[in-house]
Amino acid sequence: MTATAHVEPSLVETDSEVADIIRREEDRQGTVLEMIPSENYASRAVIEAVGSVLTNKYAEGYPGARYYQGNDVVDEAENLARDRATALFGFDHANVQPHSGTQANMAVYLGLMKPGDTVMGMQLDAGGHLTHGHKVNASGKLYNFVSYGVDRETETIDYDGMLALAKEHRPKVIVVGATAYPRQIDFARAREIADEVEAVLMADMAHISGLIAGGSHPSPAGHAQIVTSSTHKTLRGPRGGLVICDSKYARRVDRGVFPGSQGGPMMNVIAAKAVMLKEAATPEFQQYARQTVENAQTLAQTLEDAGLRLVSGGTETHLVLVDVTPLDVVGNVAATALEHAGIVTNYNTIPFDPQPPTVGSGVRMGTPALTTRGMGADEMRQVGQLIARALEAHADEAELSKIRAEVNALCEAFPAPGLPR
Ligand SMILES: *Cc1c(COP(=O)(O)O)cnc(C)c1O
């Protein structure tokens, strides 16, 4: 008698519905201009690590101090990710367990503060994030957040206003970092303000961590005592988060993550974060970060030449916030028209926006994913012109279809990594 080898069925054999959804999403990602500034294309190597059997392992605790047996191998993955994170960003300690940027922020708040404590963050409508104290978010429900904003004229962070508010409210923590802000953050200035009121400076670099890793945005090292990030934005890793900090805060940060706000870490994602950190330490990644910013600047100039208004007058990062109202259209209508043309962005409020958040006067767009596809200055000018044409033709479906065809040709010429060819 011979034993028949058991061949385990593949996804398409087990669940053709989910397999088909994945296939169609691969197709969508490959055939649109992905310009949501928080999105990117992770490499095949990162995706392989995420899809690995490390997902099976329970590893509550930290390397060498787990609450489960059998962690010798996965401990190596977490140590590798931690070592690479501290080396890349120049900090003493890293926690690579947060499931997302949101979890990273909440863990720091929990580790450093008691409910009801005062903390400062950037106003949502000035470009801040939900986790910087919005009233619908746990951050705003648990802590007394005081918000600073941008100057009405320059649309850049009002550091003098931040200092005045800090002196008035004496926060324990000051959070800098934003989600819809096209300018560099002045970490040195923010630290001076924090020192003035003996607050801890926390930099939330979720959007710009890849630019920082690649040397295209000033680093918070030496300024912020604690830094949080998402790992799937400009850093181009798996969906997740991380915290890096001075050794003084290591224990509080670690306790804020586990047991403070999470149970078992996702070891498959941690391994993928290690892969991401190796990729981000290469000269190729430095070039990528530089090209991402240059591309945003070329795109911004093209849009301005086409009659749009750039919030803050331009960009120093990977993203452009455009006021679309000079072309007689509002944010949500503009973003829908762009999607019909195969250009994926998101509508956004602009500082002091007369429109409600469900409409917005702006569209937020970024270059991280297009730059990952290898696009450069020529393509940015072409894309900027396609965007302007689509906004002018926002009610003309025939014209939007014509633009869609040009988008398809561009996507074919620049295949995205991580997707099947
Ligand atoms: C995206 C973002 C986050 C949260 O990231 P998630 O990974 O989506 O939870 C936090 N802060 C800022 C500034 C962000 O842009």
pLDDT digits (tens, 9 = 90+) for 324-341: 999 999 999 999 999 999
Return d(Cα 26, Cα 419) in angstroms, integer.
6
- State the average pLDDT for the chain: 96
Residue 119's pLDDT band, with cuts at 50, 70 and 90, is very high
For residue 18, tell me if it sits in a domain. no
Task: Establish whether residue 207 lines the binding site of ligand 1, counting it when its CB lies within 6 angstroms of any ligand atom.
Answer: yes
What is the CA(68)–ligand 1 centre distance, in A? Answer: 30
Kindly give the number of the ligand 1 atom that is closest to the alpha carbon of 128. 13
319 Cα–ligand 1 center, Å: 15
Ligand 1 in contact with 177 (CB < 6 A)?
Answer: yes
361-401 per-position pLDDT tens digit = 999 999 999 999 999 999 999 999 999 999 999 999 999 99
181 and 228 inside one domain: yes
In a domain, 172, yes or no: yes
Question: Is residue 359 in some structural domain?
Answer: yes
Q: Which pTM value belongs to this model?
A: 0.96
Both 244 and 348 in a single domain? Answer: no
**Is residue 211 located within the same domain as residue 126?**
yes
Do 140 and 217 lie in one domain? The reply is: yes
User: Domain boundary residue among 253, 280, 307?
Assistant: 280
- Judge if 243 and 296 occupy the same domain: no
Average pLDDT over residues 268-272: 98
Same domain, 82 and 222: yes
Which residue from 194, 197, 252 is spatially nearest to 223, judged by alpha carbons? Answer: 194
The rounded Å distance from CA 395 to ligand 1 centre is 33
Within a domain: residue 312? Answer: yes
User: Residue 241 Cα, ligand 1 centroid: separation in angstroms?
Assistant: 9
Q: State both tokens at 388.
A: 């302007």
Of 263, 280, 297, the domain-final residue: 280
| CATH number of the domain that residue 387 is part of | 3.90.1150.10
Q: What average pLDDT does the segment 225-246 reach?
A: 98
Q: Residue 420 domain-assigned?
A: no
Which residue puts its alpha carbon closest to atom 8 of ligand 1?
101
- 350 assigned to some structural domain: yes
Task: Based on the fold, state whether residues 398 and 263 are members of the same structural domain.
Answer: no
Has residue 130 got a pLDDT over 60?
yes
- Which ligand 1 atom is the nearest neighbour of the CA of 240? 7
Here the CATH number for the domain that contains residue 111 is: 3.40.640.10
Q: Whose CA is nearest to atom 6 of ligand 1?
A: 101
Q: Indicate the DSSP class of residue 150.
A: B
DSSP 89-148: HT-SEEE---SSHHHHHHHHHHHH--TT-EEEEE-GGGT--GGGT-TTSHHHHHSEEEEE
64: left (phi over 0), alpha (psi -120 to 50) or beta: left
The residue from 280, 315, 345 where one domain ends is 280
The answer to whether position 77 is within a domain reads yes
Can you tell me which atom of ligand 1 is nearest the CA of 230? 7
In the reported structure, the alpha carbon of residue 277 is separated from the centroid of ligand 1 by a whole-number distance in angstroms of 18
* Rounded average pLDDT over 344-357: 94
User: Which of 109, 123, 204, 208 most suits a substitution to test ligand 1, by most atoms within 8 Å of the C-beta?
Assistant: 204
- pLDDT over threshold 80, residue 255: yes
Same structural domain for residues 192 and 293? no
- In a shared domain, residues 238 and 366: no
The pLDDT assigned to 2 comes to 59
Instruction: Give the CA-trace dihedral at 235, 236, 237, 243, to 10 degrees.
Output: 20
Query: pLDDT (tens digit, 9 = 90+) per residue, 10-52?
Result: 999 999 999 999 999 999 999 999 999 999 999 999 999 999 9
Full domain range(s) for residue 60: 49-280
Q: In terms of domains, do 65 and 179 share one?
A: yes
Q: Are residues 103 and 239 in the same domain?
A: yes
Q: Are residues 168 and 182 in the same domain?
A: yes
pLDDT of residue 3: 62
Q: What is the Cα–Cα distance from 103 to 109, expressed in whole angstroms? A: 10
Residue 284: pLDDT above 70?
Answer: yes
Q: What's the number of domains the chain is made of?
A: 2
In a domain, 229, yes or no: yes
